[in-house]
Structure 1
């Protein structure tokens, strides 16, 4: 998700580069031997509850990645430790590259930016957490410096750049064990909502295939690493239905992996119903069967709909050995309109997590670092204080 609204863009901190320069020295700490085998159900169980470090490494200033550009402070070890202490076992780190990728034919990524990405990854990885990193804002037409555009006429250039970028990212992290998962892209589509179109969906499938082949060919633990693949806009219907999604082949993976096991995961996002979870309005502030005011509750997207949607991912992928990751879900703070709203946000978070568990999927809560009206935040990223313990409790709780 791109959450650029209500954020003030500022210049990239020069001091950050000095910190990043030392990050490469952490590689030896992060090295591990051959990635251990793990079944689809086991990896989902091990990932536990997940949390997104949103609006940080995907933030940008004038087309250049800048983790403080959208008003949040530099990411620290202390923040990640606080997230772990709250019970989260997985951290998804959205990453943009944009104009920090140089010109062709080599498309070299800025070494200082790669080092900073590694440093933030290590904050979580070295604490034993699972870490997901992706290519996040590079496919948004609304983002300055974006280039991974599925309906662009420059597909030859785009695909070459994409291949070179993932080659470098994969090489940087090739010795990390299965606790690091790569995600090929984020919410990739034309930007126009509605049914998928061609040739855009075919290009998305091509990006995914290039991603898998490129990562595997870099060797090391990348030959057995779990790889996360989205369909059109990470939409459940457009990924599970007959709209054009194609699973990539995995012909270059390690021969040590039994043929019956997979190393590809499917990425989906869940924000239904949007009038409750994301619309900047006080009209719909309640959700679920416990809602007390029908006028404040959406006419769709309740528990039965959630169950049916995640069952689609189970039937399509989980039953065939492909784990599903709900890489983003959550709802914005509307307590300024309805003092009871945060209770329903907690109910919603619990329902998504519980239903995902029922259908063999992992979940990663979307936290954009914003607290107060319309914020998704669970933590104050300056003080590290927990801001919504009731939502965290709901995420961590078992069946009700």
Structure 2
């Protein structure tokens, strides 16, 4: 067994001692409004500050945790830390995350593969030491830390309905060991009972009973372990961390029954599902998607915050972004994150961004999409204006016409429209009236030049507050596809995109019925059923999609592009062979 490196925070910069006087702690109590308005746009590295005192009031303490970031796919990876593609977590990484403006970090941990057998379920001391090392680094950086029991939820706690006694014994043994190992950690450490708890083979009533039992036992075990655990902030989830009203009501009942003022409710939110993964034709952040977001945050506020129970949104994001580029169009994604940040602030919900490596490059210590992070960060403190699109498509041939975008001003005013450092002239290059921005035909003609396919120019609309809105001016022609053959394991539709960008794909049999694995809609899921490869000039149809098709049945594919163009293609599967034709 390899000896683990001892925690190093004692040899680093001087930190606030665990025994900080209560008077100093009281001085650190911050109101929500102040806490949610302390972050600027500068994400340059800076010296880590001493841990802030933890307010005695749980609501204020949770406000101090805003904003947060998840160390996803690391210590929760199965079976070991680097098995899901992320590098081993370092002190430098946590320093870098803290420098981005985050005040808390959620450290998901899967314990299953590091535990012995019944009846003791002993956690490997080396693994416990490694988890403690990462926790201590984060606390030394001044971060609040949320530590949980993560994928164990579907690995073994989900069997509780059929194996109740063994699950309870293992759950209690796991938390007894964690609580003992961390009982002297400062109050910046928060325990979360279990991530996205789920229960097999049980009806809704029984599921609610089992989750109440686990949450209640977790509370009892931790509080009885002594040390700082007697007053530590504890976080309890809804079933699967879903923010449905019934499930939140169940959790509120559990929390009230425990009569403990230092408890936190937690749920997760990844948006309206069809939009989040780009399925069923939900490609835009429209009124339905926005309505789902607003109603969900209002439910959090009414069920918990208004009743004096603080809420941590333990994970948020877009599922499509986690599963590969392009699923959710970038401008629509920016609108989603802008609106989510506003909803969180106004409903007093602390947010923890789920990052499995999609957002922050842990090897290069930089954001993979810096503009996206600027939008997220800005939403912590203010609103930003957006527009109906971040792309203006100009046809390859024919006359160029004026093109208009609807602005979502969100209380801001347009201050400038620029191309690089050059300021465009209002009235000559564009017009702006109310919430409508119109690019003049002469301006577009100049910007597209010889109309070579693709992005010919990038404009930036500046506003009185928030981040600017990028507008790409793109020349395009209708995409062209060609016949080909392949197999269910490897099939690509040859596609000359000619400057256009794929939005979604429909699939139907000759009788009009839906084709593909997502049989409830003709619109298939981006990156799951199909995925564009612009560099290779093709659209890949996945084995999952192709194997779901009926043998020898002709399937009509309709590809929808962001310019508004559509292209029809046909595929036929015969055994493992696939034929594709344009007619």
* Interval containing the TM-score (normalised by the shorter chain): 0.7 to 0.9
1:98-141 C-alpha deviation (Å, 9 max, x unpaired): 1322223322111011111111112211100111110000011x
Q: Give the TM-score, by structure 2 length.
A: 0.55
Q: 2:6 aligns with which of 22, 43, 51?
A: 22
Counterpart Cα distance in 1 of 2:173 and 2:224: 12
Partner of 2:199: 190
The structure whose RCO (Cα within 8 Å, separation 6+) is larger is 1
Partner of 1:147: 156
* Preserved contact between residue 314 and residue 351 of structure 2 (Cα < 8 Å): yes
Please tell me whether Structure 1 or Structure 2 has the larger radius of gyration of its CA atoms. Answer: 2
Residue 349 of structure 2 is aligned to residue 361 of structure 1: yes
Structure 1 spans left out of the alignment, 5+ residues: 1-13, 141-145, 254-261, 290-299, 370-376
Counterpart Cα distance in 2 of 1:81 and 1:23: 15
Structure 2 spans left out of the alignment, 5+ residues: 26-53, 384-583
Partner of 1:379: 360
Question: Where in structure 2 are the equivalents of 1:1-400 lying within 5 Å?
Answer: 17-18=2-3, 20-23=4-7, 32-33=18-19, 37-61=55-79, 66-140=80-154, 146-190=155-199, 197-237=204-244, 238-241=246-249, 246-247=254-255, 249-250=257-258, 262-278=261-277, 284-288=282-286, 300-302=288-290, 304-331=291-318, 332-333=320-321, 337=326, 341-369=329-357, 377-397=358-378, 398-400=381-383
How many residues are treated as equivalent by the alignment? Answer: 344
**Structure 1 residues 352-361 or 125-134, which shifts more?**
352-361
Q: CA RMSD in A?
A: 2.9
Counterpart Cα distance in 2 of 1:92 and 1:127: 14
Counterpart Cα distance in 2 of 1:329 and 1:131: 17
Q: Give the TM-score, by structure 1 length.
A: 0.78
* Preserved contact between residue 134 and residue 186 of structure 1 (Cα < 8 Å): yes
* Preserved contact between residue 239 and residue 245 of structure 1 (Cα < 8 Å): no
User: Aligned in 2, Cα 1:326/1:27: closer, same or farther, shift over 3 Å?
Assistant: farther
1:158-202 C-alpha deviation (Å, 9 max, x unpaired): 11111111111111111122211110001111369xx96242221
1:346-367 C-alpha deviation (Å, 9 max, x unpaired): 3222322221121121000111
1:207-259 C-alpha deviation (Å, 9 max, x unpaired): 000100111111111111111100111111142246996337446x6xxxxxx
Alpha-carbon shift at residue 273 of structure 1 (Å): 1.2
User: Aligned in 2, Cα 1:335/1:137: closer, same or farther, shift over 3 Å?
Assistant: closer
User: Aligned in 2, Cα 1:231/1:282: closer, same or farther, shift over 3 Å?
Assistant: closer
